[in-house]
Structure 1
């Protein structure tokens, strides 16, 4: 360390002692002073080309990172992305569903032509193929729109501004400001968000970030949330209404992240939050080719492939559970009936709870499993549109409260098996891995119980 910098540090420490700065703010003051000193030294020895008269980066940041306009701008951009996703995914989803279920009819004809046993047709066509058809038709169009839009914001350099805006909230919650970055990663994949927690130096704050990353919806839950939001406003609203619902759900997830982080920092993981110094990168011109590759090939197709790999065996297991009978009732119905009293208590039903249990390998397959469970229980409906999906749910006794509680449960429930495995690998602790599943599950049940009972009391 040079004598000049040593002298600067000594003067800073003397200044800190004189003005009685609180201990938790000393690090911020020291780091800020070091940056100012480094900037002054660099200004003496480094020559730079003349800056343009208008610094557009600064002008934009004055809006996007201001205390007044930062959060409204963030909500507006998030709402635009969800509106584009919801409005643009409906027609492609219906086309894909029609094409894939036309393929199911052809496979059925082939099985009849080959005189295949009934169980072969049921297991592979009604089980495996139908599950795959729903995963592809429900997931692919939303992801093909959402991921490029999200990657565009990332490529422009906007995500660090999101972390900057949220930094003071996470600090008030007793955690590290970098948790805003790991939370943003969770929108793509919660497992990726868990791995990103390595950037947090403090073990205590890293654990808090890992335990709460699940409260932001990953790409596997977005198709379910979007479909249920569309059902809530079907016939009485537009895509704008569904957009507001999804944005509201995402905001609830952020609020729960902050609330649970604060509770953990005051109970199981007490401590003083570390300081966070973030350099905002300059805005960049979007690279269209890079955005297409990263969003379509690295994200959309990767996630879809993972969902397909999980959906195929899950579809087979679901069909077997629905078609193996004990005492004139399928195993799936036995399990659903066992869970139904508790499900009704929190605004759901036994089949919905079974769908979440069987969907542990991947959140993407919860809705297809639920549809298959309902179809296997006796309903013979060809689901070629959102209206048909609504009709199926209405026949099963759904109300708006059921759809709302399922959205809340989907947002807050336990992580998928991949995320839990990643938490175990990162923490090397069975205790924290189990808590990572039990904490969100308890919160999901509690929130749904309060909402369901309040709605029923109001009538």
Structure 2
């Protein structure tokens, strides 16, 4: 339902970074760039296939018997006007992103900062939460830090990877490392394997949509029911697929 939508947004930074680190190599060469692109295309194709599969399943279950319609109204053709295109791009894209950052990402950043800086019993709230989630997350090839990052990244999926980095470095701010090799060392030192990377990518591809999308679905459908379905279906799918991949990895001794 939401996989293909998410690929044009917050999942891209995480996917590209993990592909570069674990499957292509951190070296910035032409061959590595081409291979990274092919991997990314493969992930996109997987998202599209999963979308079709879930749509097929839903049409045979909870959507069975519900009529659907699709109306496409083509606007009149007009000669493009460069000035209007630029102005509309600024207002429709740039200002929208900035507004989203102020309304959604900024409060999320405050919450993350507080969790990473307030200690209870000698440990930060963020560390306590990640430790609590560790046993559950390990079933799906991840750890508590990764799962907590996805939870905290609900307002904006773009901040998932920075939260992971911040948690591993025990820092109180969202940061990014200068080199992919440094990030690779950080992740490997914290127990990441190929299976961890694959499961994180799959969950990034299939997990719940961001808060903005959920609110949009609620507004367009006029019902929290369909917003909830849009949240649960991809999330359950992501957990199931990650569990299968992690289980196969354990059987092969590479998890």
Short-chain TM bin: 0.7 to 0.9
Whether the aligned pair in 1 keeps the contact of 2:156 and 2:210 (CA below 8 Å) is: yes
> 2:222 — aligned with what?
428
User: Is 2:19 aligned against 1:225?
Assistant: no
The structure with the largest alpha-carbon Rg is: 1
Question: Counterpart of 1:437?
Answer: 231
Tell me which residue corresponds to 2:42.
248
Q: Cα offset for 1:310?
A: 3.6
1:407-422 correspondence runs (5 A): 407-422=201-216
RMSD (Å) for aligned C-alpha atoms: 3.0
Q: Structure 1: which 5+ residue stretches go unaligned?
A: 1-211
Is the Cα contact below 8 Å between 1:215 and 1:412 reproduced in 2?
no
Matched, 1:261 2:52: no
Q: Indicate which of 239, 246, 249 corresponds to 2:33.
A: 239
Q: 2:111 aligns with which of 314, 317, 326?
A: 317
Q: In the aligned structure 1, how far is the partner of 2:82 from the partner of 2:138?
A: 48
User: Deviation string for 1:28-70 (max 9, x for gaps)?
Assistant: xxxxxxxxxxxxxxxxxxxxxxxxxxxxxxxxxxxxxxxxxxx
Asked whether 1:351 is paired with 2:145, we answer yes
Rounded to whole Å, the distance in 1 between the matches of 2:20 and 2:90 is 24
Q: Which runs of 5+ in 2 are unaligned?
A: none
Change in 2 beyond 3 A, CA 1:431/1:278: closer
Quick check: 1:360 aligned with 2:172?
no
Aligned pairs for 1:164-183 within 5 A: none
- Shift of the alpha carbon at 1:315? 2.9
- Cα deviation, 1:258-284, whole Å, max 9, x if unaligned, reads 111111111111138768687989999
Cα deviations by residue, 1:405-450 (Å, 9 ceiling, x for unpaired): 1111111111111111122222222322222211111011011111
Contact 1:336-1:350 at 8 Å conserved across structures: yes
Secondary structure at 1:312 match in 2: helix
Q: 2:193 aligns with which of 384, 399, 413?
A: 399
TM-score by length of 2: 0.83
Compare the two structures and name the one with the higher helix fraction.
1
Contact 1:319 1:372 in 2 (8 A): no
Q: Is the 8 A contact 2:208 2:231 kept in 1?
A: yes
Matches of 2:86 and 2:249, distance apart in 1: 44
Q: Which stretches of structure 1, 4 residues or more, deviate above 4 A after TM superposition?
A: 272-297
Counting matched residue pairs gives: 246
**Offset of 1:351 from its aligned partner?**
0.6
Asked if the contact 2:203–2:239 (Cα under 8 Å) also holds between the matched residues in 1, the reply is: yes
CA distance in 2, matches of 1:429, 1:280: 28
Q: Using a 3 Å threshold, how does the CA distance of structure 1 residues 287 and 439 change in structure 2: closer, same or farther?
A: same
Paired with 2:67 and 2:221, the residues of 1 have a C-alpha distance of 20
TM normalised by structure 1 equals 0.48
How many angstroms does 1:317 deviate by? 2.2
1:62-73 correspondence runs (5 A): none
Identify if the C-alpha distance between structure 1 residues 426 and 394 changes in structure 2 by more than 3 Å, giving closer, same or farther: same
2:21 is paired with a residue whose SS is helix
| Cα-to-partner distance string for 1:65-109 (whole Å, 9 max, x where unaligned) | xxxxxxxxxxxxxxxxxxxxxxxxxxxxxxxxxxxxxxxxxxxxx
Find the aligned partners of 1:310 and 1:342 in 2 and give their Cα distance: 28
Tell me by how many angstroms 1:291 deviates.
5.3
Shift of 1:304: 4.8
Structure 2 equivalent of residue 190 of structure 1: none
Separation in structure 1 between the aligned mates of residue 99 and residue 74 of structure 2, nearest angstrom: 35
Asked if structure 1 preserves the Cα contact closer than 8 Å seen for 2:10 and 2:158, the reply is yes
The alpha-carbon distance between structure 1 residues 324 and 227, as it changes in their structure 2 partners (threshold 3 A), is: same
In structure 1, the residue matched to 2:241 is 447
